[in-house]
Chain A
Amino acid sequence: MATFIIGQGFQPSVHEGNTYVPVGPLLVGTQNEFLDQYSESSNVSLLNYYGGGNSCAQTCSQVYTNVCGQSILNHSFTVTYTKSTISGTPVTLVTVSE
C-alpha cells in the first residue's frame, strides 16, 4: 500500500545495486490531482521466457481510499504483453490501458 499526496510530484527510480537511480521525466503534481504509475521491466523477454504465446492481457482492479479509509475511487486497468523485437532482440512490450 502506498500513500499518494494530492499535489505531490515524483521522480521514478529503479533499484540498482545499493541505490535507487532516477529514470524518466519528473511526474508533475498539480492541485486536485494525485499521481500513480504502473511499470514493469525485466532482464528477459517474459513471453519468450514463459512461452506465453504472442500476446496476453490481464485486468486488475484497485480501490483508492482516503486517509480515513473511505473508498474514493474504484479503478481497473489492463496490462497487455506483446512479443516484439528491438533492433532484432526479442522483447516483450508492456502496455497499460484504463
Chain B
Amino acid sequence: MRCVFFVSFLLTTASIAGQQAPEVSQAKLFTYGELLRQHNVALTESALTNALKSADADVRYLAAMKLAEDKASDAIPSIRQALEIEKAPRDRVNIALALGLLGDENGGTELKKVCRDKSFVPEFRLYAVRYTLDLHSKDDTDCLTAAREISVSPTATVADRVAALSLLTQFGSLTPSELRKTSAVMQESLGDPEPTVRMAASNGLAGLGATSAVPFLASAIAKEKDENVRAVFKADLARLQGGGPH
C-alpha cells in the first residue's frame, strides 16, 4: 500500500500589505458521494443513472464518477449516452474519465480526442492530459503534444502554462526524441515573461533530469533579473548536477 500526495502549487493573490487581514483557506477533499448528497442525490444506481441527465453540470459528472467508483459496469451505456450529448468541457473530460475507469475504451478515446483538439478550453484539455496519465494509457503521444503546446502558448493563462509544465514531468519512459522536444519547450519557457512560469520551467527541467539543459539553465541564471527566480534556477541547477535534493 502506498500513499499518493497531491502537492499543490498555489496561491495567487495580491493586494497591498496592511489593507486587510489575510483570509487563508485550504481546498477540501470531498468524495463524489458527499458532494452528491449535498445536491440531494441518492446514491443508488438508479438515482445515479437518472442524475446523469441532471440540469446541474456538477451533478452529471459526479454521478458518472460515483458509478465508476461503484464499478457499475451495467451503467456504461447510460454514461456513454451522457458523454455523447455533453457540451460542458469540464463534464466532457470528467465523464470520459469515468468511462475509462470502468474499462470502456470510449473514455480513453474521448480523452485523446480532447488532447488533440486545439480549440478545447486549455484548462480542461490539461485535465484530459492528466486523466490519460491516470488511466495509464499506452499511447499518450497526443496528450504529451498537447501539454507541450499549452506550456508555450501565448494565449494560455499563467496557471495553464504552469500546470502544463508540471504535467510534462509526469510522462514516463520518454523516447530520446520526445525528451529533446519536451526539454526544448521547457528551455523556451525559461524566457517566459511571467516569473512563475520561468520557475515552473526550471523545476520541470530538474524533474525531467534533463542534464543536457544544464548550459541553458546556467545561461538563464546569468540573464535572470528577478532574485527569487534566480534562486529557484540555482537550486534546480544543483539538482540537475546531482548536488541537491531530488
Contacts and interface: CB of A to CB of B under 8 A. Distances in A.
B11 A46 contact: yes
Given A26-B97, A43-B22, A64 B3 contact: yes
Contacts of B65: 9, 11, 26
Chain B's interface: helix, strand, loop or mixed, by majority? mixed
Interface string B45-68: 000000000000010001001000
Given A84-B195, A89-B14, A42 B24 contact: yes
Interface stretch (B77-85, B171-179, B224-232): B224-232
A14 B25 contact: yes
Contacts of A44: 13-15, 17, 20, 22-23
Nearest to A54: B228
Interface residues of A, number: 63
A50 B4 CA distance: 32
A5 B1 CA distance: 12
Chain B: number of interface residues, binned into ranges: 35 or more
A98 B3 CA distance: 12
A89 to B, nearest CB: 4
B134 interface: yes
Interface string A51-62: 100110000000
Contact of A23 (B27, B130, B196): B27
Residue among A26, A48, A77 with most chain B CB within 10 A: A26
Interface of A: 2, 4-6, 8-15, 19-20, 22-29, 32-46, 48-49, 51, 54-55, 64, 72-73, 75, 77, 82-87, 89-98
Interface of B: 1-18, 20, 22-32, 35, 38, 58, 62, 65, 69, 94, 97, 101, 126-127, 130-131, 134, 158, 194-196, 199, 226-229, 231-232, 245
